[in-house]
Amino acid sequence: MKKLIAIVFAIMPVFAFAAGGSNVHLDDMRVDLEDKASLQRGAQVFANYCMGCHSTKFARYNRVAKDLGIPEDLMSENLIFAETKIGNLMEIAMRPEDSKKWFGATPPDLTLVGRVRGADWLYTYLRSFYADASRPYGVNNTVFKDVGMPHVLEGLQGKQVKGTAPVVVGFDPLTGQELTEDQDGVLFLEEAGQLNQKEFDVAVADLTNFLVYMAEPMALERQNMGYWVLLFLVILFIPVYYLNREYWRDIH
Ligand code: HEC
């Protein structure tokens, strides 16, 4: 037993390092799998902007429709393209050999990426593309250096560049005004997109929410089941309480 504990402790730092591998700052994102509207919007962005290259081939369309409360006909009309049927797995037509040639890397299947990378990573990654003329598609990414993926959401976000820009470093205690400081290596918008920054952040949060759901669809069910279990315990408490009183009545 002691030996086992020693081994666990010996390995632990390795995991800690794997988890915090790079020093890139990640923005916090609050996942809310209860927010069906957010998950539906995320699914829509995913179908429109991501499924050209990425599959989620361990999931079926009709399961997603059911989980997210999307009627099957709406799902078929708006989120499924080509000849695909609603009972199919969410596969794509692009061949890995081709995509490897085009992007230098095959776009990975994203069914489990929500669990592998985590919400904060995804949320930050999708908002951190910036112009870099030295790259084949003219963009790079602060979270994923020399990424092969083009900035597919540029139309929505606008064009970001990396440079010196004012960053909020605190607040003036007397006036409550923001205090800023010029910092290097900061991303800022050079050209606006269709959405303003807040709207874009919400769109990416929805998309991330969807990817996290995708990685563990059972999480939704588990939460719902939890409520029923709690309700059952509350109801069970009533007869148990009276039964207990009944048992002890003559003794007291
Ligand atoms: C034009 C094709 C294309 C489209 C469209 C596209 N991607 Fe990608 N994506 C790629 C490629 C290629 C890579 C692999 C990059 C590499 O390894 O350098 C990638 C990598 C990724 C990764 C990193 C996976 C990992 O763990 O390494 C994520 C996450 C991702 N894409 C999410 C998305 C999302 C979300 C969308 C929709 C908004 C999207 N992609 C749209 C081509 C695409």
Instruction: Provide the residue-wise pLDDT of the chain in tens; the chain has 252 residues.
Output: 666 666 655 555 555 444 444 578 899 999 999 899 999 999 999 999 999 999 999 999 999 999 999 999 999 988 898 788 999 999 998 999 999 999 999 999 999 999 999 999 999 999 999 999 999 999 999 999 999 999 999 999 999 999 998 888 889 888 889 899 998 889 999 999 999 999 999 999 999 999 999 999 988 788 888 999 999 999 999 999 999 999 999 886
Residue of minimum CA distance from atom 41 in ligand 1: 50
Q: Is residue 10 in some structural domain? A: no
User: Would you say how long the chain is, in residues?
Assistant: 252
49 in contact with ligand 1, CB cutoff 6 A: yes
Q: Please report, for the domain that includes residue 217, its CATH number.
A: 1.10.760.10
Computed from CA positions of residues 155, 156, 162, 163, in that sequence, does the dihedral angle turn out positive or negative? Answer: positive
Containing structural domain, residue 65: 21-129+196-243
pTM equals: 0.82
155 in contact with ligand 1, CB cutoff 6 A: no
Q: Is residue 158 in some structural domain? A: no
Q: Is residue 181 in some structural domain? A: no
Q: Which of 155, 43, 160 is nearest to 110 (CA)?
A: 43
Of 53, 122, 144, the residue with max ligand 1 atoms within 8 A of its CB, to mutate for a pocket test, comes to: 53
The first and second tokens of residue 164, run together, are 């010196």
Q: Is residue 14 in some structural domain? A: no
Chain-centre distance of CA 83, in angstroms? Answer: 28
The first and second tokens of residue 193, run together, are 């997109």
50 in contact with ligand 1, CB cutoff 6 A: yes
52 in contact with ligand 1, CB cutoff 6 A: yes
Domain count, the chain: 1
Using the mean position of ligand 1's atoms as its centre, give its distance from the Cα of residue 149 in Å.
5
Closest ligand 1 atom to Cα of 148: 18
Cα-Cα-Cα-Cα torsion 15, 21, 23, 24, nearest 10 degrees, comes to -110
Q: Are 66 and 74 in contact (CB under 8 A)?
A: no
107 in contact with ligand 1, CB cutoff 6 A: yes
226 in contact with ligand 1, CB cutoff 6 A: no
Q: Which of 44, 23, 97 is nearest to 209 (CA)?
A: 44
**What is the rounded distance in angstroms from the CA atom of residue 180 to the CA atom of residue 168?**
4
Q: Which of 111, 44, 116 is nearest to 80 (CA)?
A: 44
60 burial via Cβ count (<10 Å: 0-12, 13-18, 19+): middle
Q: Is residue 150 in some structural domain? A: no
Q: Is residue 238 in some structural domain? A: yes
Q: Is residue 15 in some structural domain? A: no
Q: Is residue 119 in some structural domain? A: yes
